[in-house]
Structures are given as structure tokens and as C-alpha cells.
Amino acid sequence: MKFLLPLVLLAALAVGAWQLLEWRNLPPQVAFTRATRSTISSSVSTNGKVDPSEFAQARSESSGRVERISVRLRQQVAAGDELVTLDTAQLRHDLESAEARIASAKSDISVIDAGGRQPEKLVLQTQIDQATVELKAAQEELDRETRLESRGGSTREQVTLRKNRVDAIQSTIRGLNQRLSTLVAPTDRGPLEQRLRQEEVTKQQIELRIQQSIIRAPISGTIYQFDLKPGAYLNPGDVVASIGRLDKVHVIVFVDEPDLGRVRPGLPVTITWDAFPGREWSGSVDRLPTEIKPLDSRQVGEVTCVINNPGLDLIPGTNVTARIKSETAENVVTIPKEAVFREAGKTGVYLLVKDHLEWRDITQGVNNTTHTEVKGLAEGDQIALPSDRPLTPGMLVRPN
């Protein structure tokens, strides 16, 4: 009995050794996939930036503080709509002063046209009329005194006295007429007209500045950039708001130089934005780049795409993800890309034929991130996937 236990152990060891030898002689297990028939699309995925398809900036043409804001961010506006109004209190005071100066100049010109200021003119004319009456009476007295002298009824002194009286009144009348004629000289009109023109120009300039204090929308569209607050001070040329057409937007897509050959106008484009998970916007490639530019460590071409934006949610300046569908192949044989091997300058697969592997040259077509179109295989063919052990033609294998 004591010899039986060693014999049993020896037999068990022999069986284990035989099984280990058999296991080592078994072909290795290899994972396989099947070639399937499907539709495959190739795409170029990259990043991009949203721009409006048409845009303009509303700028201040005048300086001043913001008095009233009539719009808000994301609001739809029409060309000419009021956006912001600047404080015009001082301008309106200046306008009233200019209008008062214009009225004064016009009044002075009307005085000249009337020959002088009417009250002064009336006083002088009255004095002339009175002096004329006095002159007539004095002349009559002089004439009477002269006749009396000729008859001996008067003296030369009396005649001379009357003559001096007539001369004095005539001198007075001449002085009054001279004052009347020079009350307003014709040459005074020129400077007054020049002053009037200057004041009218000043008024027009003030009115223009008042008009410019109302900043209006240059085009119809959506306000996509606007951050003014009441009381802010603006200088001429300051940007007030950016307005653009957003129902269709441009997305500038940064395509790496090696992928540019796969992109052409008209290809479909899908846009996604992290701010709207699960949401997609569609459009197409519009223009290809004319030059290659550095972008961080990349060399890219800026491809312009036109994207439909029905909800106006894509905002200019937004960074988005873009996928350009470059090629589509329908009802073709496809396999996972990891099943493709490149050996000795050839591209092929390891095909399962009964219990061993055979090398099969293939031609690849359209690729996406996981699968590739292949020519040289049939639907249902079993294709080896990469294994821990090197695969070789004729190798016996056990499908896993």
C-alpha cells in the first residue's frame, strides 16, 4: 500500500507532462473579424471659428456720454434703427445761441434794406420837415425886408439879419439830410451778410452733430456684439455695436495641410458646439484657402464654409468643431482599419483559409476613423486581427 501512492503520483505527473506537450503543439488562438458590406464615409475633423456672412460695425461719429440705449444684445434690427443716443444738452444750447445770432443778423440786414432804423429815420425826417417850414417863413421875411429896403422902409442891417436867418436854417437842413443819408451806409450790408453766412454754417454743423449723436444700425441683422452702459463716454470712431446676418454664417475651418487635398467646394459640413451638446448645424464648403498659415504647431489652410443657422444660436467668434464629409462609398466591402497590415512595402490582410492564414493583397478606398473600404476581399471573409504572436502566411491558427 505504501508503494501505491508514489505510483499514483508518478502517473499523474506523466499525464500532466503529456497534456502540456499536446497544448504546446496546438496552433495559437487568433482573433478574427469578418468583411462586411456597408456604406462608408470619409471625413476631415478639425476646429473652426464662426464669422457672420455679412456684418458691419456701428461707430460713433461724435463725442459725448451715452444718454439712452435703445437695443440689447442678440436683438434684431433694421438698417437705420436707433441704437444709442448721446447727451446733446450742450449742443442744443449752442444751437439756440446760433439761431439767436442768425435772427439778429437778419434784423440788421432788414434795417439796411429799409434805409435805417425807422424811429431814428422818423425823427430826422420830422426835423427836416420842420426846418423846411421855418426856411419858407424866413425866406418870405427876407423877401419882404428886401422890398422894404428898396423903398426906404427898412435898413441894410435888417436885411442882413433876415439873410443870416435863412442861411442858418438852410445849413441845419443840409446837416439833417446828411445825417439821414448816412444813418445806415450801403457798405454795412456786406459784413452783415458775411456774419449771417458764418452763423448759418455754425448752425448746420451743430445740427449735424445733433444728428450724429443718434447712432443708428448701418445694416439689417442681429446685434452680436454690444456691451455699452449708460454714462459711458464715446469718442469719434469708437465701436458701438457689431451687427451681422446670422441666418447663414461663415465658419472658418482650420484644415491641416495634408488633408486639404481631400476638401473641395460643395462638400457637406457638420458643425458642433460644446455649449449645445447633441446639437448639429449643417452646411457646405464654400471656398478653399489661397495660402497655408501657421496655427500653433500646425500648418493649416483656412477653409470657408457656409452653415445654416436657423435659430441664430451660432454666435460670431465662437470656437466650434467641424466635420467635412469628403467621400462616400455605398455598398462596399469594409473591414476594421486595425486588420490591415503593411509588410515588405505591400498592403494586405491575413485571410483564414480552413485552419491556416494566407496573405491577401488589398487596395484601400474610402476611410473613416474606424473602418476602411477594401478591394480584393469578399463579404464574409474572415480576417485576422493583430495578435501577441507575429502572423505569417501558412501559419496554423485556431479562431478565437
Instruction: Please give the pLDDT value at position 107.
Output: 80
Tracing cell 425826417 back to the chain, one arrives at: 125
Residue pair 252/303 in contact by the 8 Å Cβ criterion: yes
Residues 167 and 251 both lie in one domain: no
Q: Tell me the backbone φ, ψ of residue 115, rounded to 5 degrees.
A: 90, 5
Instruction: Please give the pLDDT value at position 1.
Output: 53
Residue pair 196/221 in contact by the 8 Å Cβ criterion: no
CB atoms within 10 A of CB 25: 7
Asked if the structure places residue 20 within a domain, the reply is no
H or E segment to which residue 80 belongs: none
- Total count of residues recorded for the chain: 400
For residue 335, the domain's CATH number is: 2.40.420.20
Residues 176, 173: Cα–Cα separation, whole Å? 5
Residues 79, 220: Cα–Cα separation, whole Å? 5
Tracing cell 447663414 back to the chain, one arrives at: 248
pLDDT digits (tens, 9 = 90+) for 142-176: 898 888 888 887 888 888 888 999 998 898 888 88
Asked if the structure places residue 306 within a domain, the reply is yes
Instruction: Please give the pLDDT value at position 205.
Output: 92
From 205, 223, 258, give the residue that closes a domain: 205
Residues 109 and 199 both lie in one domain: yes
Where the chain has pLDDT below 70, the residues are 1-25, 114-119, 182-188
Amino acid code (one letter) for 43: S
Instruction: Please give the pLDDT value at position 24.
Output: 60
Residues 236, 35: Cα–Cα separation, whole Å? 69
From 287, 303, 330, give the residue that closes a domain: 330
Mean of pLDDT over the chain: 88
Residues 112 and 193 both lie in one domain: yes
Q: Which of 10, 189, 13 is nearest to 116 (CA)?
A: 189
Asked if the structure places residue 4 within a domain, the reply is no
Asked if the structure places residue 69 within a domain, the reply is yes
Residues 400, 387: Cα–Cα separation, whole Å? 11
User: Domain tally for the chain?
Assistant: 4
Asked if the structure places residue 160 within a domain, the reply is yes
Q: Enter the pTM of the model.
A: 0.56
Q: Tell me the backbone φ, ψ of residue 33, rounded to 5 degrees.
A: -130, 160
192: containing domain? 94-205
Residues 67 and 170 both lie in one domain: no
Q: Which of 25, 28, 33, 21 is nearest to 390 (CA)?
A: 28
Residues 150 and 65 both lie in one domain: no
Residues 223 and 356 both lie in one domain: no
